[in-house]
Structure 1
Amino acid sequence: MTRIESGEGRVVVGVTGSLASLAALRAAAEEARRGCRTLVAVTAWAPPEGEAVYLRHPDAEWARHWCAEAGARLDRAFDAAFGGTPHGVRTERRVVRDRPGRALCSVAARPDDLLVVGARHGRRHATRVHRYVAAHAHCAVLTVPAPPVPRGLRRALRRVTAEDFALVGH
């Protein structure tokens, strides 16, 4: 992993709760700790029906609900990655209403920032977020791969159904 040394910049990381974003969150925290930088974790959200439909029928209560859901997802990611807030790192959590790529690039707008994004293993093509960040970021970008899932387990997970998680005896 290439380390980007910088004095004042922040380490901005995109967080969705996926394995790849949890790996990115851990790597970003380590980069922030090493460089005495602030870790800025960003979760982007948009109304599930899309911004265009929402603008035709705005509902502030509905928007607050989805913003709160995004904030809870961000908190769960910190709990999953660190058991809370990582020790020894200044941390800022942001919930941004925008598309993920745009949200990340707007937060990581300083040239001395480091933008960290997660990537799934085995992806043949970059995701929309990766393409957007590569084209629009004004700072260094670090892509962190998700931990590999053993092949046999991947096959088993593909065959799992909702009934496999149902409580027995209920």
Structure 2
Amino acid sequence: MRFPLAALMLLIVLLPASALACRGEVTTVMDYLPGNWEVVDGQGNILGYSEIREGAGGCALRERWEGQDGLEGEALFTVSDGRWRLVWSDSDGLVLNLSGQPEDGNMVFTGTQSTEDGEILHRIAYELLFELGEIHQLWEYSMDGGRNWEVFFAAWYVREIEY
């Protein structure tokens, strides 16, 4: 009877370590994303709501987006070997596969989308604003291989107050 108890105790002790194994020493703004967020523009107007939950033992984040304009989206963030990946899918039919890494304190994801008009390069940056307790997201795209960028979506994630 002692062996199963010892094995269970060992498993409990090792679970947190195995969850961190997928991230290694990569600590980023992604560690602060889990939670319920009100998403606003630069003037404080509500753009939508985001619910982000940790999963897969700490190796993934799952986002559920509900925009004020009716758009719904899902994102899956995963990390392996210190490299983040993002898969985005929304109710407008947009599907993106991006990869990311920390850059100057931000987490930056990049990837391409093939369209009838050519290839679109996407860049999504998350910046943790410690002093405000917010996260700034800037989603840009380029139609010319990254020479010129246009803003697709700029927003601030403000943690919802729980009552």
User: When the two structures are superposed, what TM-score results if normalisation uses the length of structure 1?
Assistant: 0.28
- The structure where strand makes up a greater share of residues is 2
Whose RCO is larger (CA < 8 A, sep 6+)? 1
User: When the two structures are superposed, what TM-score results if normalisation uses the length of structure 2?
Assistant: 0.29
